[in-house]
Amino acid sequence: MLAPKFAASRSFHQELKRRTNAYFAEAGKSTTGGKTLFFKAVLLTAAFVAVYLHLVFWTPSAWVGVAESALLGLIGAAIGFNVMHDGAHGSFSKKKWMNQFAAFTLNVMGGNSFMWNAKHNLIHHMYTNVEGVDDDLDAQPWLRLSPEQPRRKLHRFQHLYFWFFYALLFIAWIFFMDYQKYFKGKIGEMPIKKMTASDQGVFWGFKALHLGLFVALPIYTVGFLGWLVGFLTFMAVAGFTLSIVFQLAHTVEHTSFVVPHETTRKIEDEWAIHQIKTTANFATDNKVISWLVGGLNFQVEHHLFPNISHVHYPALNKILRQMCEEFNIEYNEYPKMRYAVASHVAHLRELGRA
């Protein structure tokens, strides 16, 4: 498949970069996370390790174990949002090795940073909501997320059952999707670069480590049934949390879904404007949500500045909103998270019926 092509950059993106660079120069700030993000990373990682150790080696009672497994899922998702995500984008630190270290938290959790980079950084961030290219839209046959996808009878009820498949995301990701991409050498129809010997070693080595830490060892210490209940709870909570946060950014009522020209593969908008049209923010005034989801409620800013740490998104939000007003570009934002969830459900309902 030929990759789509965007219209040439015009004055909007150039002016946006100029104002953003001026902000960092005047404020005397680095674009990376700094001490604030480092402290958050240490706090979240310590919490995850503490809960994991208590579950595996101190074996709490059944109900406490389920509650702690759910908590472990929430903390794991928070590490993904705050630590892994910034590290994978190179915005966690000025030091390359520290960014790689942060990104490798995904590998410990069972995913693979190489596949994530190809799927998320290279494809999703470039071709957001482009049908047939953006793999984040592909949940077929169970869910219809884009108007261009075929509609099936079961989609009439997808706004009711979507939560179940979102809860399956993480377990499907680490036990199926990564291997599918590995053996096919493609993400959807887009080929990925060949893995080096080092990439191969990381892939298989960390997959084995994950099985040891999250499957074999817990079975040995708490027994098969206790492990199964705790593991499924952990994976379901992490999967649903990861899914809903990312879905609120793109699959809501007011975002665009783009189909490139059939023969030329061209997209009408320049890349920056395309990102604004296909992305939405939510609850940007809620500091608790912003802290927990690693600024991914500022998804528009993230898509335009993926190499800038999320700790700077509130400041960039002001610059971007001002520019959108000047250039008469619609800016998608839901003031409350519940409004974004309602819009996502309405989007699923509409696609299930239309």
Query: Nearest CA to 116 among 167, 170, 46, 162?
Result: 170
For residue 173, what are its two tokens? 């990701």
Q: What is the pLDDT of residue 59?
A: 86
Pairwise CA distance, residues 236 & 73, whole Å: 8
Pairwise CA distance, residues 39 & 59, whole Å: 29
Global pTM reads: 0.94
Query: Nearest CA to 207 among 136, 120, 113?
Result: 113
Pairwise CA distance, residues 167 & 70, whole Å: 12
Q: What is the pLDDT of residue 195?
A: 95
Q: Compute, in degrees rounded to 10, the torsion defined by CA atoms 247, 250, 255, 257.
A: -110
> What DSSP state is assigned to residue 22?
H
**pLDDT by 10s per residue, the chain, length 354:** 678 888 877 789 999 999 999 999 999 999 999 999 999 999 999 999 999 999 999 988 999 999 999 999 999 999 999 999 999 999 999 999 999 999 999 999 999 999 999 999 999 999 999 988 999 999 999 999 999 999 999 999 999 999 999 999 999 999 999 999 999 999 988 889 999 999 999 999 999 999 999 999 999 999 999 999 999 999 999 999 999 999 999 999 999 999 888 888 899 899 999 999 999 999 999 999 999 999 999 999 999 999 999 999 999 999 999 999 999 999 999 999 999 999 999 999 999 997
Q: In Å, how far are 123, 137, 278 from 264, measured between CA atoms? A: 19, 22, 21
Q: Taking a C-beta distance cutoff of 8 angstroms, is the pair 323, 272 a contact?
A: no
Query: Nearest CA to 336 among 294, 300, 288, 304?
Result: 288
Beta strand 266-270 with 333-334 is: unpaired
Where b means 16+ CB within 10 Å and e means fewer, 284-307 reads: beeeebbebbbbbbbbbbbbbbbe
Pairwise CA distance, residues 94 & 33, whole Å: 9
One-letter identity of residue 339: Y
- Give the other-Cβ count within 10 Å of 46's Cβ: 11
> What DSSP state is assigned to residue 143?
-
Pairwise CA distance, residues 256 & 347, whole Å: 12
Q: What is the pLDDT of residue 264?
A: 86
Pairwise CA distance, residues 10 & 269, whole Å: 10
Instruction: Name residue, tokens 């490798």.
Output: 104
Query: Nearest CA to 90 among 105, 103, 106?
Result: 103
Query: Nearest CA to 283 among 245, 311, 312, 254?
Result: 245
Query: Nearest CA to 249 among 292, 273, 284, 286?
Result: 284
Half-sphere exposure for 91 (CA within 13 Å, toward CB): 20
Backbone angles phi, psi at 6, to 5 degrees: -90, 160
